[in-house]
Amino acid sequence: MAIPILITGCGVVSAIGRNKAETLDALLNNRSGVGPLVYLKTEHKEFPVGEVKMSDEEMRKHLNINDKAITTRTALMGMMALDEALKDACLTPDMLPEVGFISGTTVGGMDMSEQFYLDYVNNEKHKEYIAVHDCGSCSEMTAEHFGSFAFITTLSTACSSAANAIILGANMLRRGEANIVVVGGSECITKFHLNGFNSLMILDTKPCRPFDATRAGLNLGEGAAYLVLETEESAKRRGVKAQAILSGYGNACDAFHQTASSPDGEGAYRAMKEALELADIQPDEIDYINAHGTGTPNNDLSESHAVMRLFGDNIPPMSSTKPFTGHTTSASGSIEAVFCILALQHGFVPANLNWSQPMDDGIAPVYQSVKKELKHVLCNAFGFGGNDSSLLISRVAEPVSEPVKGGEGIVPSISASTSPATIYVLSAQQISIQQPLCEDWMTKPVEYQTSFNRSIDPSFKEYVSPIEARRMGKILKRALATSKEAIKASGLESIDAIITGTGYGCIENTEVFLNALSKEGEQMLSPTSFMQSTHNTISSLVAIQLKNHGYNVTYAHKGISFDSAVQDAMLQMQLGKINSALVGGHDEMTETFYNILKKGSVMGQDEEMCGEAAMSVVLSTEKRDSLCKLVNFKMLHKPSMDTLKAVAKDFQADYVLTGISGNHKSDEAYLNECKDLFGNSILLKYKHLFGESFTSSGIGMYVAAHCLKAGNIPAHLFVNKDETKGKKPHKILIFNHTDGNNYSLTLLEA
């Protein structure tokens, strides 16, 4: 059945306004918000930026947040945008338990971590901010200011994060996993990424000039925007009108370089082409392109070539709105999507400010705001590692009804898959504190007495060249090794998608950059450590090594990061978008960062053992010689026991693999909940062997899959030693919860 994706509300905050009305006024009057630094305390006063024109204190007051409440600038801006979006869509707090929240961010709580990093290391001061460093915490703070959502997750794909959040939300609606989702992203300017971009030498000391012959780099910006996506049935039931239609979208990987775009814009071309094909829209029907247009020599030329490849001689009006706001990085996809909605509603093409001289072999943008009736617009968002996404947004005719192909203002709708695919776990490989790339842990596990342990690494020579290895962090080497081994074991020649979960990303490189920034100042910082600090470095590096242009995203939401990646892979397969996916769960830990997290009560409590883990699994709709089947999956946020009981009925299994880890509070919750939910099941554990990590649920899937394949569960996995002579496993449920907030249930079957 046809499922139009309606946009029934949106909210935005950026350098040009605190809401849609102020934003529209600035766009129509060519008023830029880029200017000298005011709020960020940095040595680099030479760079113009697009700051939101409010201090943290002013935002707290605006939101009625207590001065002593723990929060971050990213979360505060997110709250402002989310407040407008919820009101715009007539969503009240009592409705939120039926609504999903999907956000994109990369810096997370870095604005606080960079201020207090030396305190985190050396004393007890400001330790309360340690728990809000990660991306997922910022998403939860943003959402929970308004109530309790049905589920929450976070994407972190650098500058395409918010656009990918929108894509995930749309796919959930198409699959019937939700009726309403709030999607978008938030990002504040920090010293960390200001200096990071400066180390890459791509910041301009003058206002940026996308697609201009004299372009010399980007201006950083900050802000947030959220869109409410809804099914037509839900909108009619609630009596709300659509403001626009999300008619198509695409995501592809350039698979070229960690920070540079390919000369021919392969990833950008594929993303735009996919968006058009999904919407069944021809190139000549696009009325405007909101370009990624950062103002760097490389990006603008690459994007120009991608557009010329797709549109030929009939290139629609195109402009970059980043001279208005600066490059708002992770939030740019949703902020500029709101700009596109405003342009559709009010009939204009926003100006590409500061443009004057045509670039060689490039596209000349619209440099003055133009009145124009718009029906279909493309909105591009391209991130580090070649993570390229494109959204196709269309004007809606009144009333929203069954679309007619080619009809005025109506987009041919997207169809959901009617026959769910069977999903097989073809292979799974791990590098952890157990022997790597093997299943020796089943018979001869490595035992530990220490609370923190680094991974046992194999020789990486066969996976990466010595020259590359010298500049590559350990987490990247582990991800490459497990990915290549998992693909080899799967028997597949190629993979359709690479989807990664990581709680904290590349900690070693983040620590190196933070340490240098805190101790040595803001000069002469390493571009390598910054480049490898971003969360999606892992997924993009695997794609570059495999030359894989397929769907590519990264999730960074605490202990459900890997689970979120699994959910996305399943959605893509059930919708018929892909037939196979390499799903990874990758986290590393240093002794310094472990001690910081322990100090902040994030990890390492009681007898909890912590470790590092890299796990890659190949999921496929093709059976082959598989380990097991993935038969059911569910994620929930702060569910009631009644809700858990209702869900658990579809997840009954002979064995339940729990996350018991030695953290007394968490372990007690596991035991009590399992007794109520799965009273007749035999309980298993695995973290006493592999340690706790942010993506340890991925190791849980690895353990369960290999037990099902072997038809045997090792005695050292049983919680109750009296039950070790249980029956041959047929179904194993992986039951995961983190912070008592986020739950996931993954059911595997032999």
- Strand duo 288-290 + 376-383: pairing: parallel
The reported pLDDT for the residue numbered 402 is: 40
| DSSP letter for each residue of 21-34 | HHHHHHHHTT----
Which tokens sit at 605? 């409590």
Structure-derived torsion over alpha carbons of residues 16, 321, 375, 305, reported in degrees to the nearest 10: -170
The gap from C-alpha 157 to its chain's centroid, in whole angstroms, comes to 5
What DSSP designation does 685 have?
Answer: -
Tell me the per-residue pLDDT of 712-723, one tens digit each, with 9 for 90 and over.
999 999 999 888
Classify residue 6 by burial, with Cβ atoms within 10 Å: 0-12, 13-18, 19+: buried
Which tokens sit at 190? 């920090």
Architecture of the domain defined by 2-414 = 3-Layer(aba) Sandwich (3.40)
d(CA 551, CA 568): 11
The reported pLDDT for the residue numbered 420 is: 77
Residues paired with residue 497 on neighbouring β-strands, in sequence order: 551
What DSSP designation does 14 have?
Answer: B
Single out the residue of 476, 216, 247, 220 nearest to residue 330, CA to CA: 220
Parts of the chain with a pLDDT under 50: 1-2, 399-418
**Phi, psi of 7, deg, nearest 5:** -105, 110
Which tokens sit at 582? 């390499």
d(CA 353, CA 195): 25
Which tokens sit at 166? 């929108």
Residues paired with residue 152 on neighbouring β-strands, in sequence order: 101
Decide if 2-414 and 423-749 have a common fold. yes
| Domain locations along the chain | 2-414, 423-749
Distances in Å between the Cα of 332 and the Cα atoms of 280, 287, 326, 338 are 25, 21, 9, 10
The reported pLDDT for the residue numbered 419 is: 61
Tell me the per-residue pLDDT of 460-471, one tens digit each, with 9 for 90 and over.
999 998 888 888
Residue 154: strand, helix, or coil: strand
The reported pLDDT for the residue numbered 736 is: 96
Single out the residue of 663, 698, 391 nearest to residue 555, CA to CA: 698
Which helix (DSSP H) or strand (DSSP E) does residue 174 occupy? helix 161-174
The reported pLDDT for the residue numbered 408 is: 35
What's the pTM value of the predicted model, to 2 decimals?
Answer: 0.96
Amino acid at position 439, single letter = E
d(CA 154, CA 172): 14
Residues paired with residue 250 on neighbouring β-strands, in sequence order: 390
Which tokens sit at 739? 């912070």
d(CA 617, CA 645): 29
Architecture of the domain defined by 423-749 = 3-Layer(aba) Sandwich (3.40)
The reported pLDDT for the residue numbered 398 is: 58
d(CA 356, CA 640): 59
Residues paired with residue 226 on neighbouring β-strands, in sequence order: 11, 184
